[in-house]
Structure 1
Amino acid sequence: MKKAVVTGSYSTKVGELEGATCMSLHTEAGLGALADAGLAVSEVDGLLCAYSFTEPHLMLASVFAEYVGMKPAYASAVSMGGVTACMLVMQAAALVEAGYCRHVLVVTGDNRLSGMRGNAVQALAEVGNQQYEQPYGMTIPAAYALVAQRYMSEFGVTSEQLAAIAVTMREHAVLNPKAHMKTPFTVDDVMNSRFIATPLHLLDCCLISDGGAAVVVSAADAAADLKKPRIDILGTGQGHTHEYIVAAPSLTDYGCKRSAADALGRAGLKPSDIDVVEIYDSFTITLLAELESMGFFERGEAGAAAAAGDLKIGGKLPCNTHGGLLSYGHSGAAGGMFHVVEAVEQLRGEADGRQVEGAELALVHGDGGILSAHCSVVLGRA
């Protein structure tokens, strides 16, 4: 029996949520995950939060604990960009496995779409090394466009193949009543949308959304009486190669190669064993690069696989079955947590209308920065 299990999960609606705040989204997501697990606030002895751009706090976990009347034995907040959610799940598992906590609430949320103003926008705009990148106008899309250009040059990836990824994510979002965007589009629509940073079009880029999501990670022996089927945390891993893209040792190999290998190795599995993957997709090229680096496809094959429909529900490797960051929604650290919640729902058999038949094993992956920091989590149906 595994020592750490997911016992509760919840995600809010996403999109432009009138009146939403960082704390309201944290509260809805956190209390929703506890209700899903059948736990009271008083039963939680561990609390992990991420960060907020719209309401920055030096001690966000303490702020949230006070807000909902929680008095945890352990509390912390982590800020590692898009990889944060998976890292928090990994940390929560370590806490219960080490015996420090019995039930850890992991909660994320931000009103990125309706609440981004002034300094928050500036903070996102100032990506890149202050000496070698910022003075030349580096943006996040431009950095990922650099990766896309290299893949096109080295492995023959085409814009149409990247567009097929975006189309697949939208098809999945259409099946999800909570998704931010549910209007279908075609490869031609992606190709005809305006360039953001060549070769990335508008529809190759993720959304900006309001939303929150949370999970409860419990010690396995504390989960026996809880109402929902537990999901085992089978293996976790991290990988870090650089912070700034100017210092990346490669534009085709990233820390996800190590994080996935470690997570799968600790689970005693290989990529071909996985039934469904929920992988960070800030841009279409992000998903393609990570699928290949992690060993789900050989070099140069993921684009063709996407065009052939292999990433669709019912395909060879269903991917981002909720619609991903590209179409479900992206709200900072909550964007990564949406992937975790979707994996839990798939493994429980609760993904109504988009269920992957017979899903027993899932891999969730998050990355932060410009493919800088990586964390992989393997989950299994108990």
Structure 2
Amino acid sequence: MEPQVRVHQTVESVADLASEWQVLHDDAGDVNPFSGPDWAVTWLEHFADDRRAPFVLSVRYGDRLVGVLPLYRQSAARVIDVLQPVGTGSPWIGPYELPAMTADPARGRAVARAVVAELCARPDDWDWSSVIFGSAAPWLEPEWLPNWEFTVVPRRTIATVTLDLAGGHDIYSGRRNLKESFRRARNRLTRDLGTDGWSTRRVLDEDEIGAAFDRLVRLHGSRADVQDGRPVHANVLADDRVQRYLREVVTRMSRRGAVSVYELLIADEVVAGQLMLHTSTATYSSVSGATDAAWPYSAITYLQSLAVADAQQAGHRQLCLSAGPNQAKLRWTDRVDLTPEFGIIGPRRRSRMLSVAATARGTVTSFVAARRAHRAEVMERRK
């Protein structure tokens, strides 16, 4: 049976796919929360317009949905038409870390090949296309291109730090310093505040998640402020559009029990929070925040340790500490998963030239962003 590919080019059509898409995501055991419909459909509902049109590819075998690749077409000055993963571009959604295809794992390569064939059958619709296959397929194989006039190039690699929870082994084996930091956090809290002076909680209930998210936004902003001479930590929710978008995503996920907010309280005041996203098989660490009062207690690390314990209890096979390996995350594990993004450049000479120019500009932008990120990491360690 040959796969049938459909391109959804309206927000309504993509929204109609959401329920079936979520079932596919759950049944596939996809560990990536961003490859499901909650993030992509909500993004299109918030940000699709005349310049950013849905271009979501669904793949079926008979009546059965086996894959979804969420893209959108961005037009710039009526000169360039680019297909790129939903969630990328402007506005920048920092927490939307790994937009990718989801697919039946038994048919991942076939689904990836089918969407590449469909894209290449529509060369007049785009100049180049960026695709992320995630766990569905390890690579975009050049043999999938219909002829030599198309070109495939690796665009970038997204690195995520992942804690392996499968197998029942001691996940903290050989990481005495990390375990000691958990113990120290508890002891300091009890010593300074007394047994009844502090507590933690996990907010899961749909009716409570909105208020918890609002508290997290304030805590995240507080973490980003200059306090007592400390340098600024990036505020990924400074843009009101991003904040509204993320709030709706969290609300949607809460209806399926797929999101948690862990909080540390001193007396009755919430002083630290950590957002965790859940799939049927994994947990993903997202946005966090803390006040000055929480810093002496390694509050975020301690809340993450509680999330790890809950993920183990739920039978999840991994907990992702988010994209961008750094010293703090690599204290937990040495495992870094790499997800490639590929560019397919169309056959027209104009498309090739525009792609080369955009790549050069992107290289400069990436360099500047990397410098800023490195500076932020160094300053964070000096706190």
TM exceeds 0.5? no
Structure ID, larger Rg: 2
Using the size of structure 1 for normalisation, the TM-score is: 0.28
Q: Flag the structure with higher strand content.
A: 2
